[in-house]
Amino acid sequence: MGIVIRQSAKSVILTYIGIAIGVINTLWLLPYILTETQIGLVRTLINVATLLATFACLSAGNIPNKFFPYFKDITKKHHGFLFFLLVIGLVGSGLFIILFLNFRFLFVDAFAKNSPLLLNYFYPLLPFTVIMVFITIFESYNIIQQNPVAPIFTREVLTRFFLSASLLMFLFLKFEYEWFINLLIGFYGIVLLVLIFYSYFKKYLFIKPNFGTFRNPLLGSMFVYAGFVLMGNASGVIINNIDSLMLSAYSGLKSTGIYTIAFFIATFIEIPKRSLSQVLIPLVSEANKENDRTQLDMLYKKSAITQLVIGGIIFIIIWINIDNIFKIIPHGNLYAAGKWVVLFIGFGKVFDMLTGVNMEIIGSSKYYKIDLSLFPIYGLIAIAANLFFIPKLGITGAAIATASSVFLINIIRSTILYLTLKIQPFSLDTIKAFSIAGIVLLLNYIIPHIPNHFLFDIAIRSIIVAAVFIALVLVFKVSEDINMVANKLLMKFFPNLKFRF
């Protein structure tokens, strides 16, 4: 995992820059500049485009994870592998446009009653979805080249920066909301161009027509894999987005706007997981190719405990300050209804991090069909859960349904990996991490609140809890990799200090 830590350095920095921008967007700009309904519309448009792009991509963003090692040869321009992916993306985008235009009535029927404003943006969804298709392809292509920095930068930093720019331009230039949406879609187009130019700069933008991949004996296996992955991805995107989509359909865009703010707060928990997972993908793929179970077990356990520690402290800091966080948000009294959304979504995110890179391991192994064949069932469960909980509990019900789906998926994936590869993510360090989390949560109740000074209260509470948590993690050596990073920092800044964790 040492190589992972080194490769992750830039990724972590970019990720937390993105978090900072995301905090500004989520906790101030969005609720200050837009109404709850407008926020709900932005979230729904992005979710719909993401869902449609998953189908239109035809799994071109996932094929590299499993098959690129068989084509990797920079001297032979990877045998036209990128050209192959782009052809799939073009074919998928063409099919999507034809089907979307011919089945427009399904879109209208779903949102006409409670979210009619969404219907005004039917046609902008076409270019938005196509842009998302090719962003997915170029992100995957760069990651599998062991260059995850650009995808992390565009996803975590650039998209958030462009959202900030769009909001500020909307605020100060006072143009119509319709142009705000068009501007935001245009910025996603710039994100795609950045990924393309980065590939060119790194000298692996091999887009000259090369049909070598289409004649490869693995072609049949790739298409079978793509079919299973498409089924799985579609179900996965449904699971991840069905909550806000069904809220829009059943409760209206205003409820979706409130849910969006709360969900975004909880989403900060999993951002480090995305960075670490992207760095691990090529290592996991290579280990599966070589059938190196020892390496897979090591990557599985170390990713799980590192993610649990990082995700755990972020979740704790968010939850102990949740009431104060809503005081920071403009019109926070309106969005405070999402408090319990943060709790339940947070539980789901932490559990997802606790189970490590199970998706990446099983997705690039020979057992991927088992996992993907269960995705339609996962999707149906998510839909049923939302249908049951949303009418009864509204936005909190949507959060409970989403968290339940996350728990179920990860339990099943972990069981599959244990039964097939005899690997599992848990260890004594897992118990240590939960024990430390319990200690600092109890500590939070001892720290007195500072009334009428909520920013000072957030700072003092967070510093004390985080300091105790980090100290206990280091002293009890919960994560070997976190201790290694801490010791490297001590050596760099305090070379004469003999103390090491």
pLDDT for residue 417: 92
pLDDT for residue 290: 84
Instruction: Judge contact between 31 and 261, C-beta under 8 A.
Output: yes
- Cβ burial of 261 (10 Å; 0-12, 13-18, 19+) is buried
CB atoms within 10 A of CB 183: 17
- pLDDT tens column, 425-471: 998 999 999 999 999 999 998 998 888 888 999 999 999 999 999 99
| C-alpha to C-alpha distance for 90 and 96, rounded to whole angstroms | 10
| C-alpha to C-alpha distance for 181 and 162, rounded to whole angstroms | 12
How far is the CA of 85 from the CAs of 134, 232, 279, 407, in angstroms?
A: 9, 19, 21, 33
Residue of 83, 2, 9, 23 lying closest to 318 (CA atoms) = 23
Which residue reads 């909520």 in tokens? 454
In the numeric block, which tokens belong to residue 182?
């068009």
CB atoms within 10 A of CB 218: 13
pLDDT for residue 9: 63
Q: Which residues of the chain have pLDDT under 50?
A: 1-3
pLDDT for residue 7: 54
| C-alpha to C-alpha distance for 307 and 304, rounded to whole angstroms | 5
pLDDT for residue 380: 85
